[in-house]
């Protein structure tokens, strides 16, 4: 004869199975809820909350020196009305029995060196001048004009568009500063006024009022 389970045992098995099923559903729901909350917090912080400032890269051009040779030095300074007497004396140009205040800076290394553009710009004048030693004038943005005197072997012409660091000419000599021998005389003009170039190198064009 087949043995039959007692009704009480059958009911107990039903009860245990139901409890396991309900427990599994509840456990699955809690686990799903935890994962959802975790993912929501992560996405919220990743997309909307920035605690660190975003750094903006400065793309404004920077004023370079009119030469690249590291051996080039200042041999005659810009005349500064506020400078000491000794510095002012070194900033005077003596020509034809007359002392003139230097409105630029003279650079030399003894030998010939490349003269380069300090910024992107347009050549507005190329002039042969025995007194000044030939002249190149370039207009840049923000009211900036650069003037290169005492140059030879000129590589550009009027209306040429040049880039920063482009070779313009070679350093040379001039009759106005024969004692300096081979050199470059450089002027920087900002808004129509000659300024000391040494105070403007490595500055961003945006730092200069246009």
pLDDT digits (tens, 9 = 90+) for 94-104: 877 788 888 99
Select the CATH number that applies to the domain covering 73-207 from these four: 3.90.700.10, 2.70.70.10, 3.30.60.50, 3.30.930.10.
Answer: 2.70.70.10
pLDDT score at 94: 81
Confidence of residue 83 (pLDDT cuts 50, 70, 90): confident
Is residue 147 packed enough to be buried (19+ CB in 10 Å), middle (13-18) or exposed (0-12)? buried
Backbone dihedral angles phi then psi of residue 194, each to the nearest 5 degrees: -70, 130
pLDDT digits (tens, 9 = 90+) for 53-78: 555 555 789 999 999 999 999 999 99
Whether the pTM exceeds 0.75: the reply is no
70 vs 91: CA distance, rounded Å: 22
């Amino acid at each position: 004869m087949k043995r039959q389970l007692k009704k009480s045992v059958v009911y107990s098995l039903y009860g245990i199975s139901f409890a396991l099923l309900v427990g599994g559903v509840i456990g699955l729901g809690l686990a799903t809820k935890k994962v959802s909350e975790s993912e929501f917090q992560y996405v919220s912080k990743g997309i909307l909350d920035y605690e660190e400032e975003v750094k903006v890269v400065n793309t404004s051009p920077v004023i370079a020196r009119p030469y690249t040779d590291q051996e080039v030095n200042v041999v005659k300074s810009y005349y500064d009305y506020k400078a000491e007497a000794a510095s002012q004396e070194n900033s005077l140009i003596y020509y034809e029995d007359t002392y003139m205040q230097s409105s630029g800076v003279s650079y030399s290394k003894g030998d010939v060196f490349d003269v380069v553009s300090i910024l992107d710009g347009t050549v507005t004048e190329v002039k042969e001048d025995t007194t000044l030693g030939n002249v190149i004038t370039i207009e840049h943005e923000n009211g900036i004009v650069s003037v290169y005197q005492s140059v030879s072997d000129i590589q550009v012409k009027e209306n040429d568009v040049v880039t920063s660091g482009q070779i313009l000419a070679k350093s040379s000599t001039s009759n106005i500063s024969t004692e300096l021998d081979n050199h470059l005389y450089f002027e920087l003009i900002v808004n129509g006024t000659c300024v000391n170039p040494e105070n403007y190198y490595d500055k961003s064009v945006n730092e200069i009022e246009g």
